[in-house]
Chain A
C-alpha cells in the first residue's frame, strides 16, 4: 500500500517535472536581441543599372546574315552596369560596394540588403550611387571613384528615435533615394 502511494507520488513528480521543464523553456529565459536605446538603418534596394553601352544600328550586311524574322535594325546590349553605392554617416564611411547585376548574362537587377544597428540620435546621412558604368571601366574598388562620378547623391539630417528603423530604398521612378521611418 505504502509503496503504491509512493509510486503515484513518484509519477506525479515525474509528470510535474516534465511540464515545468517544457512549460518554462517554451518561452523563457528571455533573449535580449538588441539593447535599449538602439536604432537601425536598413539600406536595401533592387535596382537595374543602365545598359553597359548605347544601342546601335546594324549595318546592311549584318542584317542580311540574320534570319528574316530576326532582322531588326536597332540592337541594345543586354548586359547592365553594376551599381556602386556608398553610405556615409556623419561623414564616416559605413558601407560601400559595387553590386553586380544578377543573371548569367548580367542583365538583371543589382540588389543589396544591409542592416546597421546604431545608437538613437541625430545623424547626417549621405548616400551616393552610380549605375552607369561602361564595360571598359570595371572598377572593383569604390574608393577609386570621385564624388563627381556618382549620378545620384543624396544627403540629409535625420533623427533616429530609440527602437526606430530607417529604411533607405532606391527608386528610379521616385528619382532617387527614398527614406522611410
Chain B
C-alpha cells in the first residue's frame, strides 16, 4: 500500500520532471532544487521583510495605515516589496510541500536520512506560525478574523487562565502592546526557522542550498511580474465592534481555518498534532529493510581520505591510526549515517581491478556487492560478448532497468550508484579488451539519488578529481548517459549511436597492437 503510493507518486513526479527537462534542461528544473528554492524564497522574504519593517508601525490604527502607505503611496517600491514578501511566502509553502512529497515518494526519509526528515518537521510549524503572524500584523478584516479564530483555537489548550480571545472582544479591549508582541514574534520565528533550516542540512556534504542562477533569475523575475500585475493589498481596516462576514483567505497559510468553523478546536489540534506525529515517526514505520553499510578493511586502507572527501552524507570520518601500519589516519564509517551508496568504494585508490598480487580487497567495500564481485561479473559478462562494438554498461539501480539493454554485444552490471564504480574499471575494460567501450548510465542529470554521484563520476572521468581516470584511456570509448528512471528511450538511442561510433573507430589499439580478449588479456597491461 505504502510502496504502491510511493511508486505512483514517484512516477507522477518523474513524468512532470521529464517535461520540465525538455523545456529548460536539468539545470533549470525546479523539481531538482526544491530545497534550494525554498532557501531562495526565504532570502527574498527576509530582504523584502526588512524593508517593510522600516515603515511598519505597531498600533491598532497605525499598523493598517503604515501598510496602506506602503501599498498605495509607495507602490513602486514599498508596494512591490510587500507583494514580493507575500508571494515569496506563498511560493515557499509550495516548494516545501513539493519537497516533502518528493522526498517521501522517492523514499528518501528512512534510515540515516531520519535526521533530515525529522528536522524538517519543525520547519513546517515555524513556517505556518510566521505566515499566520504576518497576516495578523496588517490589522485588516482578514487579520481580525485570524486574530479571533486563532485566539479561540489557542485558548483550547490548557496553558493560559485568561483567554487570549478576551483581547479581541471589541475595539476597547485591543491594546497596542499586543502589536509589539506580534511584530517581535514575526521576527523571532523566522530567525528560528533559519536556524532550523541550517540544522536541517547539517548532515549533508555540499548541500544544495542555492538554486542555479538561471532558475533564480527566472523565479525572481516571475515574482516581480506578479507583484506588478497583482499587487498584494489589504482588506477593510479591522473593526472589532463589527463582524467579518467574508474574507479573502491566503489558502497556502490559512487553508485549515475554515475547518475551525466546522470542527471543534480540540479536533483541529488533534489533527495537527496527529499529522506532526505521523511525520516524525515515518522514518521508522515498516517496511524496514536496511542495507548493509560500507565496511573498512584496515589492512588495505592507507588513510588517503578520498572516501572522506567523496561521501555525500558525511558518513566517513578520518581517525588516527589504531594499527601499526605506517599511515597517520584510517577511515571509519559511521553506520548510522551511511546510505549504502558505495560512492566511497568508487573513490578508494585500492579498489582497482588490476590488482593481482593480493586478493582484491579494497580499503573500503560494500558487503552486498564487493569490488571483487564487480570485477568477476565484468570479466564473466565480457566473455559472452561478440562483435566489434562490444560495450559494458555500468548502471545505477536508481535509473532505468538496464537489463533491458542487454544483448549479444552488450553486457550490463548494476551498481548502487554509478559513482560506486572506481574509474580504474573503465581502464580495465578497455585496456584489457573486455569490450570496445564502456557506457555509464544512471540518474537524471541534476538529480542524483545520492546527490553527488554524477558530479563525482564526471569529474573523475575528466581527470579533475581523484581517483582520476588515467589520461591514456581513450575518452571516445567512454560514454555517459544521465537519463534517469524514465529515460529508457534516450538511453537506448544513445547506446545504439555509441556502438555505431565504436564500430567506426575500429578495434582498440595500443602500442600498435589490437587489444582483443583473445589476446589473453590478463597477462597484459596494468
Contacts and interface: CB of A to CB of B under 8 A. Distances in A.
B246 interface: yes
A154 interface: no
A177 B250 CA distance: 39
Interface string B215-241: 000110111011001101000000011
A103 B160 CA distance: 11
B170 A180 contact: yes
Q: Is the interface of A mostly helix, strand, loop or mixed?
A: mixed
Contacts, number: 122
B241 A164 contact: yes
A39, A108, A113: most-surrounded residue (chain B CB, <10 A): A113
B286 to A, nearest CB: 36
Interface stretch (A29-37, A77-85, A87-95, A145-153): A29-37
A82 to B, nearest CB: 14
A125 interface: no
Given A115-B152, A165-B243, A33 B145 contact: yes
Contacts of A11: 23-24, 28, 218
Contacts of A46: 162, 166
A34 B170 contact: no
B196 to A, nearest CB: 23
A169 to B, nearest CB: 8
A34 B243 contact: yes
B222 A18 contact: yes
Interface string A19-55: 1011101111011111110111010101000000000
Given A15-B222, A163-B245, A31 B28 contact: no
Contacts of B165: 44, 113
B253 to A, nearest CB: 9
B247 interface: yes
Contacts of A180: 170, 172
Given A7-B23, A23-B87, A30-B247, A163 B242 contact: yes
B104 interface: no
B86 interface: yes
Contacts of B161: 102-103, 108-109, 111
A39 B245 CA distance: 10
A31 B247 contact: yes
Contact of B252 (A16, A26, A167): A26
B132 interface: no
Given A111-B163, A113-B155, A25 B252 contact: yes
B248 A19 contact: no
Contact of B225 (A6, A19, A35, A115): A19
Given A31-B258, A181-B241, A10 B22 contact: yes
Interface in B235-277: 240-252, 257-258, 261
B169 A22 contact: no
A174 to B, nearest CB: 13
Interface residues of B, number: 47
Contacts of A111: 161-163, 166
A14 interface: yes
Nearest to A8: B23
B94 interface: yes
A15 B166 contact: no
B250 A25 contact: yes
A180 B240 CA distance: 12
B309 interface: no
Interface in A132-181: 163-165, 167, 169, 180-181
Contacts of B87: 19, 22-23, 26
B245 A35 contact: yes
Interface string B73-91: 0000000000000110011
A13 to B, nearest CB: 8
A5 to B, nearest CB: 11
A108 B162 CA distance: 10
A44 B169 contact: yes
Nearest to B225: A19
A21, A31, A102, A163: most-surrounded residue (chain B CB, <10 A): A31
B255 to A, nearest CB: 9
A26 B250 contact: yes
Interface string B461-474: 00000000000000
B20 interface: yes
Contacts of B230: 23
B248 A27 contact: yes
Given A30-B249, A33-B261, A23 B163 contact: no
B172, B222, B258: most-surrounded residue (chain A CB, <10 A): B222
Contacts of A35: 245
Interface of A: 6-7, 10-11, 14-16, 18-19, 21-23, 25-28, 30-36, 38-40, 42, 44, 46, 102-103, 108-109, 111, 113, 115, 163-165, 167, 169, 180-181
In the A-B complex, the 5 residue pairs with the closest CB atoms: A10-B23, A15-B222, A19-B226, A102-B161, A27-B248
29 contacts: A7-B23, A11-B218, A14-B20, A15-B219, A15-B221, A15-B225, A19-B87, A22-B94, A26-B232, A30-B246, A31-B248, A32-B246, A33-B145, A33-B244, A33-B246, A38-B245, A44-B166, A46-B162, A102-B161, A108-B161, A109-B161, A109-B162, A111-B161, A113-B163, A113-B165, A163-B243, A164-B242, A167-B169, A180-B170
